[in-house]
């Protein structure tokens, strides 16, 4: 039973139902029901044409559900207007679904949930587990989201940037429960890259691949390991090679964007055989490019770290001094630069302060340990 294949067919099947005239919300329910039936039936009776099987099953589920609610006449109208399956390229349907599920009228959490279900083919239970909320809560979130986009035209182009933001959010959530959200985000971004030619889609895919390549080395026994101390022998060289290739092809198009710039920074880190050989000068330049797209204080904070490596800790502290002390991770960066500058006492104090402001337990433990290391 190939669950990956099954899930990869989800958007095309859903697109066909919608094109045949099924309202999005009902079509989406029908496809979920068909997926559940496939999981039950396929192991014993694998279909010769999996997609055709799913379309037939989902359409039947849709008609069954509609029969209960809708007048006979309307149903016949829908059936009469049914176009031949496959008359519209799947790629268009898939792309439209991404746009719909990331529609600007949706909140980020709704867009994420709807994308994972309607495009990703995950069940409500899996999504609920991944985001640590009760299944009933997630079901409600998805059903409200479907209502919100119920009247959105399916044939209008959407905004790629909103889709990328949603996929970025999914990737950043990492791993919890039995669904690997990072891997799922990569799968969905690959699928998107296959149906739209856009340098920023490629940029985001490259960024994800390059970060994912370092995953095995990012923690040891549940403890965070900073980039400089990671065991580079455990980095996934195949993913890095793919990420770099995707990025280079995107950069060659000469339409730079935020994700390509971030991926370029990740690629420069991946390119260094040891931390000491990192090309920090180029990384600072890429941060400057990034700032041209998004003048975000978080980018400026990361740039201060890079300046500290390229031009020495004093230069880094000077860049840091221009930023707001209330920024998340400000104290952590300050602690790091003060230690590099030889001021262990200030560094220890700032690490302890940073631990108190950490936004997750792994980070809090890491920062506390840094303070303890300097205090002992």
Partner 1 sequence: MAKYLLLKHYRGAPEPVNNVMMDRWTQDEITAHIQYMRDFADKLKGTGEFVDEAALAQEGTWVRFDGEGRPPVTDGPFAETKDLIAGWMIIDTDTYERALELAGELSAAPGKDGKPIHEWLELRPFYGNAPTITE
Residues that bind partner 1 (CB under 8 A): 348, 351-352, 355-359, 361, 365, 368-369, 371-373, 375-376
E-strand ranges in the chain read 175-176, 179-180, 219-220, 223-224
| DSSP secondary structure code for residue 118 in this structure | I
**Separation CA 264–CA 200 (nearest Å):** 12
Task: Give the residue with the Cβ less far from partner 1, 166 or 371.
Answer: 371
Rounded to the nearest whole angstrom, what is the least distance from the CB of residue 220 to partner 1 in the complex? 12
CB of 366 to partner 1, least distance (A): 11
| 174: Cβ contacts below 8 Å, ≥ 6 apart | 181, 182
Taking the C-alpha atoms of residue 360 and residue 368, their distance in angstroms, rounded to an integer, is 12
Q: How far is the CB of 355 from partner 1 (least distance, A)?
A: 7
Select 68 or 361, whichever has its Cβ closest to partner 1: 361
Q: How far is the CB of 30 from partner 1 (least distance, A)?
A: 36
Is 204 within 8 Å of 182 (Cβ atoms)?
no
User: Closest distance between partner 1 and the C-beta of residue 344, in Å?
Assistant: 13
Which candidate, 143, 255, 250, places its Cα nearest to that of 205? 250
- Please state, in angstroms and rounded to a whole number, the distance separating the CA atoms of residues 1 and 46: 8
Q: ∠196-197-199 over CA atoms, to 5°?
A: 125
CA distance 119 to 113: 10
Q: How far is the CB of 341 from partner 1 (least distance, A)?
A: 20
């Amino acid at each position: 039973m190939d669950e990956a294949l099954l899930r990869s067919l989800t958007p095309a099947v859903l697109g066909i139902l919608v094109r045949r005239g099924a309202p999005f919300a009902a079509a989406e329910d029908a496809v979920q029901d068909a997926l559940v039936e496939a999981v039950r039936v396929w192991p014993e009776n694998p279909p010769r044409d999996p997609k055709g099987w799913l379309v037939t099953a989902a359409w039947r589920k849709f008609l069954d559900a509609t029969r209960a609610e809708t007048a006979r006449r309307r149903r016949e109208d829908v059936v009469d207007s049914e176009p031949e399956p496959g008359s519209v390229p799947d790629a268009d349907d898939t792309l439209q679904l991404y746009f719909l599920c990331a529609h600007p009228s949706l909140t980020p959490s709704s867009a994420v949930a709807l994308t994972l279900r309607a495009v990703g083919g995950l069940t409500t239970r899996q999504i609920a587990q991944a985001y640590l909320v009760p299944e009933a809560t997630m079901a409600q979130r998805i059903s409200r989201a479907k209502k919100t986009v119920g009247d959105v035209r399916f044939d209008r182009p959407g905004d790629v940037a909103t889709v990328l933001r949603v996929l970025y959010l999914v990737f950043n959530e990492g791993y919890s429960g039995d669904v690997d959200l990072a891997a799922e985000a990569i799968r969905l971004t690959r699928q998107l890259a296959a149906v739209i030619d856009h340098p920023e889609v490629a940029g985001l895919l490259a960024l994800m691949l390059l970060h994912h390549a370092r995953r095995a080395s990012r923690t040891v026994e549940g403890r965070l390991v900073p980039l400089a101390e990671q065991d580079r022998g455990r980095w996934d060289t195949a993913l890095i090679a793919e990420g770099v290739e995707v990025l280079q092809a995107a950069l060659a198009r000469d339409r730079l964007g935020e994700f390509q710039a971030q991926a370029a920074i990740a690629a420069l880190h991946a390119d260094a055989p040891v931390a000491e050989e990192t090309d920090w000068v180029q990384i600072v330049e890429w941060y400057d490019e990034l700032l041209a797209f998004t003048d975000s204080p978080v980018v400026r904070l990361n740039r201060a770290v890079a300046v500290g490596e390229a031009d020495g800790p004093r230069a880094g502290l000077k860049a840091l001094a221009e930023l707001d002390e209330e920024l998340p991770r400000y104290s952590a960066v300050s602690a790091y630069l003060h230690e590099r500058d030889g001021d262990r006492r200030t560094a220890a104090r700032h690490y302890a302060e940073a631990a108190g402001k950490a936004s997750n337990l792994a980070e809090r433990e890491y920062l506390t340990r840094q303070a303890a290391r300097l205090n002992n």
